[in-house]
Amino acid sequence: MTKLKHFLLRRYVSIIGSKKFYRFNKRLYMMSLHGIGILNSITPEASGEKFFLDMFLKNSPESIIFDVGANQGSYARMIINLSDMMQIYAFEPHPRTYQILAKEAERYNFKSYNIGLSDKPGTLELFDHRNQDGSTHATLYKDVIKRIHKDQVTEHKVRLTTIDHFMDEHQVPQIDLLKIDTEGNELNVLKGAQRMIGEGRVNCIQFEFNEFNVISRVFMSDIIDLLPRHSFYRLLPDGFVQLNHYKPIYREIFAYQNIIAIERTSPIYLLIDKLAIN
């Protein structure tokens, strides 16, 4: 840093960094987060999900899509409304929520499974709000409900399997788009797909990264390190932010954001990378 830059920074901090500007700076910080693709969960358009899916579906016809943490099927419906040529596998372990998902699957002609995906097969407790059982917050981490949402907990014993095992059992040749929304368990889902990922059979991954990863103790870098053949991008309403260069101040933000990871041999990789900003 040059002497002039150092001088200007000291002057700026001494004024703008003072106590009287704290609330202004806090509001500015929150607005800036929205501007870099954080906390934009209000609609699929605002989150960038609609923009990405439009592009993906136009360039990847007749794809196989896994919807992990499907809840009541809103993601599957959005895909079908954009293109009815996709083969969708939707997974939801919550017994109440799955009843709704199964009806949606029958109505919209996609496959649904009352099972969760993780790093190994077995059974675990799934936690949800006691007075809103069947919510979108159901999670394998009790403290997501207790500490983040500050609510009382109810629980269900659920079955789990892995993507590797499921693809073998059901003879699924590849996954063109793997969407994961598991309230903090995203890394374990990916660990359960390591063989298929290593064989190049998982082309594009979309997942949420948020405050629930504080509870599961997962950094963005943990997920990136697990997928060395993929490039990572945060979604914007009209584009992508490249996340491949490790700068924790930009990457390790524990708040709602949609991330995509694209295998660099995938046909859509060059198209998305060309549109991305650093």
Task: Please tell me whether residues 265 and 129 are part of one structural domain.
Answer: yes
Mean pLDDT over 46-65 rounds to: 94
- Domain residues for the domain of 8 are 1-35
Region of residue 123 (left: phi > 0; alpha: psi -120 to 50; beta: else): beta
Task: Please tell me whether residues 111 and 248 are part of one structural domain.
Answer: yes
Distance set, CA 40 to CA 23, 35, 44, 76, 205 (Å): 21, 9, 9, 20, 19
Task: Please tell me whether residues 16 and 124 are part of one structural domain.
Answer: no
Task: Please tell me whether residues 209 and 102 are part of one structural domain.
Answer: yes
Paired tokens of 143: 């403290």
pLDDT band at 15 (very low <50, low <70, confident <90, very high): confident
Task: Please tell me whether residues 12 and 105 are part of one structural domain.
Answer: no
Task: Please tell me whether residues 26 and 119 are part of one structural domain.
Answer: no
Mean pLDDT over 23-29 rounds to: 95
CATH number at 87 reads: 3.40.50.150
Mean pLDDT across the chain, nearest whole number?
94
Task: Please tell me whether residues 138 and 19 are part of one structural domain.
Answer: no
Distance set, CA 209 to CA 43, 63, 144, 225 (Å): 16, 24, 14, 15
| pLDDT score for 2 | 81
CA gap 149, 99 in Å, rounded: 25
Task: Please tell me whether residues 81 and 139 are part of one structural domain.
Answer: yes
Minimal CA–CA distance to 227: which of 255, 264, 253? 264
Task: Please tell me whether residues 76 and 121 are part of one structural domain.
Answer: yes
Task: Please tell me whether residues 57 and 138 are part of one structural domain.
Answer: yes
Task: Please tell me whether residues 101 and 208 are part of one structural domain.
Answer: yes
Instruction: Give the Cα-Cα-Cα angle 257, 54, 195 (nearest 5 degrees).
Output: 65
Give how many domains the chain has, as a whole number.
2
pLDDT band at 24 (very low <50, low <70, confident <90, very high): very high
Mean pLDDT over 90-119 rounds to: 97
Per residue in 198-233, pLDDT (tens digit) is 999 999 999 999 999 999 999 999 999 999 999 999
Task: Please tell me whether residues 117 and 225 are part of one structural domain.
Answer: yes
